[in-house]
Amino acid sequence: MSLTQHLKDYADQSALKIPKDKLELMLAAIKELEESELAISSLRTGKKIPEIQLPNAKGNKVSVNQMLQKGKKVVLAFYRGGWCPYCNLELKALQAVLPEIEAKNAVLVAITPEIPDNSLSTIEKNELSFEILTDEDNSLAKKFNLVYQIPEELNEIYLSFGINLEKSQQNTNRELPIAATYIVDTDGTIIYDFVKADYKERADPEDILEALS
């Protein structure tokens, strides 16, 4: 089953379990984000990426630009956090094709606003073997123009689900990145982008592999 189908099936099943009033607020928040056209104005194919040097799950600084300088293409996957089931499905799907990504002379790097301790938990839970970097306060994602603030009503719903963004990110910004995927060529130019306002949609690994060919 493709990641796209897996995500759709999960979304359909999840919608049946969420109280109607909460589901309506969640869907309204997605629609508002789509209408804001933030995703349209985000960094896209043909643009150069900014310098990326962020701490990994162990707190060690990792430079994406150095990876590029070594002649490797880089697949960048921005995700919301380990609390997001759609993010976990995406990360697992990317892990499954990691050998194929590496065979195409590319490196996979995931980026999240969550603190390193939470990234480490995500790595362990999903048995990931690629780097997850912490984007403190979404500073890098803002340079990609991917960041939005969730409404207070939605934050309250998240809290009722046991999702505490303030705790997971260690800030009170209520900000998240659009779940976006990029492929960056060795000269720092974006050669593939997948940016959708709806967090239930993610780049399918098969499309990523095709773009790397």
Q: Which two tokens stand for residue 74?
A: 């880089």
Q: Are the CB atoms for 193 and 157 separated by under 8 Å?
A: no
Q: What is the band of 1 on the pLDDT scale with cuts at 50, 70, 90? A: confident
Domain extents for the chain?
3-212
Which residue in this structure is represented by tokens 């999903």? 126
The DSSP code sequence of 171-184 is SS--EEE--EEEEE
* The CATH number of domain 3-212 is 3.40.30.10: yes
**pLDDT tens readout for residues 95-138:** 999 999 999 999 999 999 999 999 999 999 999 999 999 999 99
How much is the pTM?
0.96
Handedness of CA 91, 97, 99, 101 (dihedral sign): negative
**pLDDT tens readout for residues 163-200:** 999 999 999 999 999 999 999 999 999 999 999 999 99
CA atoms of 162 and 176, how far apart (whole Å): 17
